[in-house]
Structure 1
């Protein structure tokens, strides 16, 4: 397990109130493979809260990814939905949980909110 992934999962409970504002509720299991070894993370999400464990158990959705790809996701060098669409990782179960969980990943370096860019352009025109 890489340090970036460890720090990412450790940060989830503190970040949950700002990210999970809507009525999302359920458990997602994240299986990260590295060669012949697979590590499991279980994330229980509720409105404004997250519980993280390394235990396997019943889950509403399961996400399979390589450890390398997940490291790219937690550092903003890859996007979760793009990875699933390119079949670099897979998800089965309640897709709403996947969509909610992906909001924990950082934006790619240098990315800016388009609304912010538009406001700057309008300011320059005045």
Structure 2
């Protein structure tokens, strides 16, 4: 596992209040594979709070990703839902937990809020 992945999971509790709100409650197990080894993370999500630990356990959903893909997700170079749809990662269980967790990933580099783009375009047209 990379240092960036470790820092990502460590940052979740401080980012949870603004990222989660009341969206989901449950436990997501994230399995990150490298070669023939799998690292496990158990992420317990409650409205406004997250607790992440390096363990396996009973979970409402399980998401498997390669460590390399996960590193691209945490830098915004890849998108979680697209990776699942392309079968680059797999998911089973409560899909709401996956859809909620992906909000912790950054937007792709260079992404701009479409509302801001529209405001800027409207300002130039006046």
Q: Is 1:31–2:31 an aligned residue pair?
A: yes
Q: Is 1:12–2:12 an aligned residue pair?
A: yes
How many residues of Structure 1 are paired with residues of Structure 2 in the alignment? 126
Structure 2 contact 65–90 (Cα < 8 Å) conserved: yes
TM-score, normalised by the number of residues in structure 1: 0.98
TM-score, normalised by the number of residues in structure 2: 0.98
CA distance in 1 between counterparts of 2:85 and 2:55 reads: 28
Structural RMSD (CA): 0.6
Residues 60-111 of structure 1: per-residue CA shift (max 9 Å, x gap): 0000000000000001100000000000001000000000000000001000
Q: Name 2:46's counterpart in structure 1.
A: 46
Gaps spanning 5+ residues in structure 1: where?
none
Gaps spanning 5+ residues in structure 2: where?
none
Structure 2 contact 23–100 (Cα < 8 Å) conserved: no
Deviation at 1:24, TM superposition (A): 1.1
CA distance in 1 between counterparts of 2:30 and 2:24 reads: 17
CA distance in 1 between counterparts of 2:4 and 2:23 reads: 28
